[in-house]
Amino acid sequence: ETGVTQSPTHLIKTRGQQVTLRCSSQSGHNTVSWYQQALGQGPQFIFQYYREEENGRGNFPPRFSGLQFPNYSSELNVNALELDDSALYLCASSRMDSYGYTFGSGTRLTVV
Amino acid sequence: ELKVEQNPLFLSMQEGKNYTIYCNYSTTSDRLYWYRQDPGKSLESLFVLLSNGAVKQEGRLMASLDTKARLSTLHITAAVHDLSATYFCAGFFGNEKLTFGTGTRLTIIP
């Protein structure tokens, strides 16, 4: 059984640029959620995807967008990067009919 | 506004001692999760508590849930250095997301 894989592991971007982060779900999972974790804070929910559609969204602006693909992998796109976007981005996969979440190892994004 | 509060935020304890981390939440939660995070790493699932009175134990860690008091606890028994990490509780409030607490940074001192 494969776990959740995220890429890249680290990324440095300049303010104003765009970034795409990727996540491969655990085998058998059909739902993907993305979280942003600023340094010293708990993770904050960005959005969730189920059946390739957004299925819930947190308090993040529209420049945060996502996709889910037929194989349940997912992308998180952030446009017009701001310094405050610097954080660890975590992807979690799950099954809609179960309670468990499996988190990936995260992507550390630094915006300079 | 949904809130999940943990205390203490920081905890230093000696090896061999017992302690409890508290997690209070502001509204009814369908379930309560506990996670462990090592520095720079992802979240490791520890427990999922699904009903009032639920108690789960794994090694030196035991978690409980009181839905009437909106309180969950994570009890550490006879702490060892390997338990040093940040511990998060998270509630699921039926809106497809986990709401995390601020975390408790636990340091075990030899």
pLDDT tens for each residue of A23-82: 999 888 889 999 999 999 999 999 999 989 999 999 999 999 999 999 889 999 999 999
Does the distance separating the beta carbons of B99 and A100 come in below 8 Å? no
Residue B83 C-beta-side C-alpha neighbours within 13 Å:
27
Please state, in angstroms and rounded to a whole number, the distance separating the CA atoms of residues B34 and B11: 17
Would an 8 Å CB–CB cutoff place A66 in contact with chain B?
no
Task: Assess A101–B contact: CB distance below 8 Å, yes or no.
Answer: yes
Phi, psi of A85 (to 5 degrees): -75, -10
Any idea which residue has 């420049």 for tokens? Answer: A63
Q: Which residue, among A55, A94, A103, A108, would best test binding to B if mutated, counting the most B CBs under 10 Å from its CB? A: A103
Q: What residues of B are in the A interface, CB distance below 8 Å?
A: 4, 31, 33, 35, 40-45, 48, 50, 88, 90, 92, 95-103
Query: Inter-chain contact A99–B50, Cβ cutoff 8 Å?
Result: yes
Q: How confident is the model at residue A2 (pLDDT cuts 50, 70, 90)?
A: low
**pLDDT value, residue A81:** 98
Predicted local confidence at residue B40, as pLDDT: 85
Confidence of residue A3 (pLDDT cuts 50, 70, 90): confident
Q: Are A23 and A6 in contact (CB under 8 A)?
A: yes
> A79-90 burial, b if ≥16 CB within 10 A, otherwise e?
eebeeebbbbbb
Q: Residue A1 above 60 pLDDT?
A: no
pLDDT in tens, chain B (110 residues): 689 999 999 999 999 999 999 999 998 887 899 999 999 889 999 999 998 889 999 999 999 999 999 999 999 999 999 999 999 999 987 767 899 999 999 999 98
- Name A62's Cβ contacts closer than 8 Å, sequence gap at least 6: none
Q: Say what the pLDDT of residue B28 is.
A: 83
Q: Which of B35, B31, B108, B102 is nearest to B74 (CA)?
A: B35
Q: Is the CA virtual torsion B91, B67, B85, A26 positive or negative?
A: negative
CB contact under 8 A, B100 and A101: no
B24 within 8 A of B5, measured Cβ to Cβ: yes
In this model, does residue A95 exceed pLDDT 90? no
Q: What is the pLDDT of residue B51?
A: 87
